[in-house]
Structure 1
Amino acid sequence: MKYRLTLAISLLAATSLAQAGPLCQQKEQAIQKEIDFARQHNNQRQINGLERALTETRANCSDENVRKAHQEKIQQHQKKVTEREQELQQERNEGGDSKKIAKREKKLADAQRELKEVQAAPY
């Protein structure tokens, strides 16, 4: 009886791993690294949250969903860059002072940096 139960659990685990694609596996590994880091620092609240996230990732993750969410994140950051460019152009057109223009340029540079980071991320 125990043998059958162990076999069934092993097959179930193997099946769930086979369904998870490489992006989901990367995501699981990243969460596991964060859990290990939180354990090193005795942060139980963070461990609990990350374990919940890991369980949900294992249950619901598909490479298609990860790609879709990543593309949506990229689009949000592209929209933010566009908004920052428009704000900067508007400030220049209105003849704003150099401090305001510099502030808008910094915001644009930050938005562009964030966009590049999101584009470089695997998920």
Structure 2
Amino acid sequence: MNKFSSLCALLVAGVLAGPATAAPAAPATAAVATGCAAKQQQVQAQIDIAKAHGNQNQVDGLSTALREIQNNCTENGLRKEREGKVLDAKREVSKRQSDLDKAMKKGDSEKINKRKDKLAEARKELQEAMDELDK
């Protein structure tokens, strides 16, 4: 895992562990940012929330993450990363479908239900990864 990925993971962890306050909504007339600009806006919104709650440690971590995005994020790199996540999610869906097919051949209703749940979760993750491609 490279330094940028590590910081992004830290950013996500900080956001998830941070205050349960939603980021302020962008005005309806503002253009919707995509790619690296969107990532920068998301981090800046989290910095603003952390500042409002007096969480200086989170502000420091998010500020570092923002600098890393500003210095290292490229649209092509971000696109390739997101495409990789979609590919991984597609593989997971295929694996889960295969597992379900095997369970159905055996006829074990408990395993079938478990496999259906796992397949549904994998499909949800695939959809989320595909949605990220457009951001």
Whether TM-score is above 0.5 comes out as yes
Which of 112, 115, 122 matches 1:111? 122
Is this contact kept in 2: 1:22–1:63, CA < 8 A?
Answer: no
Identity between Structure 1 and Structure 2 (%): 36
Q: Deviations over 1:66-114 (max 9, x none)?
A: 1000100111111111111111111111222x12111110110111011
Distance in 1 (CA, whole Å) between partners of 2:100 and 2:87 is 20
Match of 2:40 among 28, 46, 49: 28
* Structure 2 Cα separation of the partners of residues 39 and 30 of structure 1: 14
Check if 1:76 corresponds to 2:88: yes
Counterpart CA distance in 1 for 2:68 and 2:96 is 35
Query: Bigger radius of gyration, 1 or 2?
Result: 1
Q: Which stretches in structure 2 are left out of the alignment for 5+ residues?
A: 1-32
**Aligned counterparts of 1:43 and 1:87: Cα–Cα separation in 2:** 45
What root-mean-square deviation, in Å, do the aligned CA atoms of Structure 1 and Structure 2 show? 1.8
Structure 2 residue 99 is the aligned partner of structure 1 residue 99 = no
Name 1:6's counterpart in structure 2. Answer: none
Number of equivalenced pairs: 102
Verify: 1:51 aligned to 2:67, yes or no. no
Secondary structure at the aligned position of 1:108 is classed as helix
Whichever residue aligns with residue 45 of structure 1, its letter is N
TM-aligned CA deviation for residue 22 of structure 1: 5.0
| 1:7-56 per-position Cα deviation (integer Å, ceiling 9, x unaligned) | xxxxxxxxxxxxxx952111111111122222233333332222111111
- Give the letter for the 2:55 counterpart: N
Unaligned runs of 5+ in 1: 1-20
